[in-house]
Amino acid sequence: MGVRVETTVKLGKHRVRPPAICAAVMAEGIDVMEARVNSAIEQGADVIELRLDGLRELEGWQGLLRDDVPMIVTNRAEREGGHFKGGERERIGPLVEAIELGAACVDIELSTPRQELEEVLRAAREGETSVLLSYHNFDGVPARGDLFERAKRMERVGCDIAKLACFAKRPEEAIEMLNFLVRARDALGVPVIAFAMGEAGKFTRILAPLLGSPLMYAEVGKATAPGQLSLVEMRRLMDALEGTERVEEIVDLAPEDRRLQKLLRLSPPS
């Protein structure tokens, strides 16, 4: 089986074939952000993430939305590595508006207070917008059971895609994220994005797609998370991996595992 499998992931009215490259676009000004969106599309991004929390002023952000490429609208909370410092009511406002404007997908944190989270979910259900529920941990990689509980909660809450990203201080922690992904892809009824952030987890960003993660995040002009590869790097690597067999049978990886060593030879240098 090749890297580009035949299944697709639904993002609003769009369908993308995994593994898809999602260009995370963030800037302080609308003009720069628009230029980076255009650059990302020219460089072959399959999906665009609009990181609204990086903007100094939100006025006019709606003009960034496009119909020709699926877009994920995000307004990341500061507690999960974002730049938005206001209240939750203010933070979800653009997400609800994005849904009303027909955005393909919105990303909202699982840690969002219940009332605001339900408001976003309800608005999405009334339209065609997909919901990506996310969890980010910059302190380290929790136990596998904790990751599973969060992922299962995401599914119960009603997401279309679950995303879990944790900061790895050591390669062993990063490997745990891959082990979690292998189990989660079969145990959950929704697509699961999972990888490790940071330099120690950089290799998981390219290996996760071989283990079933449908989206890979790449930066355009400015990294939005530690360890993120550029879109140019990611596209080059995915082209090189075309035809590589997708890994199906790995259950418990360890640093000395020959299967892991084989995969690491495919990954970019730190």
Residues involved in catalysis: 136, 163
Q: Give the side-chain half-sphere CA count within 13 A for 63.
A: 10
Backbone angles phi, psi at 215, to 5 degrees: -125, 145
Q: Give the side-chain half-sphere CA count within 13 A for 110.
A: 23
Rounded to the nearest angstrom, the gap between the alpha carbon of residue 173 and the centroid of all alpha carbons in its chain is: 19
Give the C-alpha separation, 255 to 110, whole Å: 31
CA 116 to each of CA 31, 83, 88, 110, 136: distance values in angstroms, whole numbers, following the listed order: 30, 18, 7, 11, 18
> Are 158 and 188 within 8 A, CB to CB?
no
b/e for 188-204, b at 16 or more Cβ within 10 A? bebbbbbbbbbebbbbb
